[in-house]
Structure 1
């Protein structure tokens, strides 16, 4: 799982100035400073990633003939440019409120926050599930050949073996309706923040005023990572951002306890009952419902292709004779 913290600047006690023999004087200042890296990651994601970066596909169900549901299949790692890709696919959807179906190992936390907010602003539902496109082989269920030039395709979703791990549940939390099934997995773990020690070079211009040196300009000319440290402690800024985001999405902050109970190289699977209690999920899919189905309207007919059908009402009893 990735996160971002603000830059922490602390100048080193020693530095080196190189003077030239003319005025104004020029110098290069080498500074070593610890800085919270622009990205941080879980230990297992420092290794080679299993999934490629997240890609979005608009899919229409092949399991029906008329008024077939559509959804946005979102599969892959969440990277810093994933929100921009999501924005592009939402534009392609032309205002249609299509559920977003996630299958992801996680990724960048700030990007997940941005995605969740985009999903909530657009009024979209989310689900955990995988997508298989028509005509694709088993080993490549979302093959390029099945995707049209406009980014659309035909296929179906599945729950068994689908997962939403690490930062993925944060993006998933953006849904107005958030569903999964007993055969799909939602998992969380601690955030590991990577701190970079940076060596920064400056070009500094001086002039002599009344016999004293005065800096008149400073320009950064280069920086290089000079070492790294990491921490699983959730800092004040990261903790405040996470708490505020969960509150914004209507999710109980007990999720944080779940996250902190699992080390970065493991995953805490959140049982469906717990996910429902914490409002990370709003409903569980029935055995005959699949990810990508829209939520049923209160007056939806029994034959409507949607999840969460309203309970059938018993017919009113006929009045008895006097």
Structure 2
């Protein structure tokens, strides 16, 4: 059994708000609770723009924790580690209480949140899963390898740093890795805003730098991924939606009908504005736009923080932009992707 020992049972409750409502999940996660949570969601997740799931749980069944996390990512919910007082009709918006905990399987479920938050007074903890008794050594080893691969892939998909899985794997079931505030940020347990940690990958014979930000897309904002590259000795930024379904309508992408007439890049070294002659839009595909830069702007982009904004307006129903967050000294992957253009 892929569990951590516990007592009690999971409970769900709802705190409704105008724009944001919260589903409170308290108690241990047992086998079958993922389906119970989905059923509760289907019956109660309405009349709000945004939903946050508040966890206060010692953990429990690993597979159900993973399933809850994947479901939360699918529906775009946020998560937090927070405890609330009992519902009071006279106080419909209660303040959180200190002491919330989210350990083991709960921590994995928490990682499914698109936006994640651990307020002061809340703690999260990770460790190896508990395999239980009754398995031979060979069976236990095979099971461990399978589950380790499952967890590693899940954490990577949810945006955690690889080091989190390494630390988790080195923490025995009887112990708990409770990260500090600095570790929570460094391991991306709570996502840092903006596009950061660009990775170099081969693509169509080129080397490109790419980063995603699950939190960037919204009701109007389309950009999920930013890619930098050097193509025919020209520095290029490509902006991508998460899927083809979030692509641009033909009338927005077509030069004869679009209202989009250029873009702006704000860097630590100045603001640079360009017209439609350096912008290409794409209809009905994940690739939204290609921005053609000058070498000096590519250098500035790789040397510090930047804001990329395609000219648009709210009434059009489409916004395209994103903040690039660079480490001290600039992002080496972005610099490398532009190398042949500088």
TM-score range with shorter-chain normalisation? 0.5 to 0.7
CA deviation map 1:256-280 (0-9, x unaligned)? 2222343222222111221111111
Match of 2:28, SS state, is coil
Q: Does the 8 Å CA contact 2:51/2:78 hold for their aligned counterparts? A: yes
CA deviation map 1:282-309 (0-9, x unaligned)? 269xxxxxxxxx99x899xxxxxxxxxx
Q: Name the CA shift for 1:158/1:196 in 2 (closer, same or farther; >3 Å).
A: same
**Which of 2, 13, 33 is 1:82 aligned to?**
33
Q: Does the 8 Å CA contact 1:128/1:159 hold for their aligned counterparts? A: no
Residue 125 of structure 1 aligns with which residue? 78
Q: Does the 8 Å CA contact 2:81/2:122 hold for their aligned counterparts? A: yes
Q: CA deviation at 1:102?
A: 0.4
Q: CA deviation at 1:231?
A: 6.1
Q: CA deviation at 1:87?
A: 0.8
Higher RCO, 1 vs 2 (CA within 8 Å, ≥6 residues apart): 1
Count of paired positions: 195
Q: With structure 1 as the length reference, what TM-score do the two structures score?
A: 0.53
Q: CA deviation at 1:192?
A: 2.3
Q: CA deviation at 1:195?
A: 4.5
Match of 1:130, SS state, is coil
Q: Name the CA shift for 1:234/1:251 in 2 (closer, same or farther; >3 Å).
A: farther
Residue 171 of structure 2 aligns with which residue? 262
Cα RMSD after superposing both structures:
3.4
Unaligned runs of 5+ in 1: 1-38, 62-66, 136-145, 147-152, 198-226, 285-293, 300-322
Q: Name the CA shift for 1:53/1:228 in 2 (closer, same or farther; >3 Å).
A: farther
Match of 1:116, SS state, is helix
Residue 177 of structure 1 aligns with which residue? 115
Distance 1:82 1:132 in 2: 23
Residue 102 of structure 2 aligns with which residue? 164
Q: Point out the structure with the larger helix share.
A: 2
Match of 1:245, SS state, is helix
Q: Name the CA shift for 1:75/1:155 in 2 (closer, same or farther; >3 Å).
A: farther
Unaligned runs of 5+ in 2: 194-214, 221-342
Residues 72-221 of structure 1 aligned to structure 2 (within 5 Å): 72-95=23-46, 96=48, 97-135=50-88, 154=92, 156-196=94-134
Distance 1:233 1:182 in 2: 39
CA deviation map 1:16-66 (0-9, x unaligned)? xxxxxxxxxxxxxxxxxxxxxxx1334xx1xxx34x2211111136xxxxx
Match of 2:84, SS state, is strand
Match of 1:131, SS state, is coil
**Which of 130, 148, 162 is 1:253 aligned to?**
162
Residue 142 of structure 1 aligns with which residue? none
Match of 1:191, SS state, is coil
Distance 1:129 1:257 in 2: 26
Q: CA deviation at 1:132?
A: 1.2
Match of 1:251, SS state, is coil
Q: CA deviation at 1:134?
A: 3.3
Q: With structure 2 as the length reference, what TM-score do the two structures score?
A: 0.50
Q: Does the 8 Å CA contact 1:180/1:283 hold for their aligned counterparts? A: no
Rg larger in 1 or in 2? 1
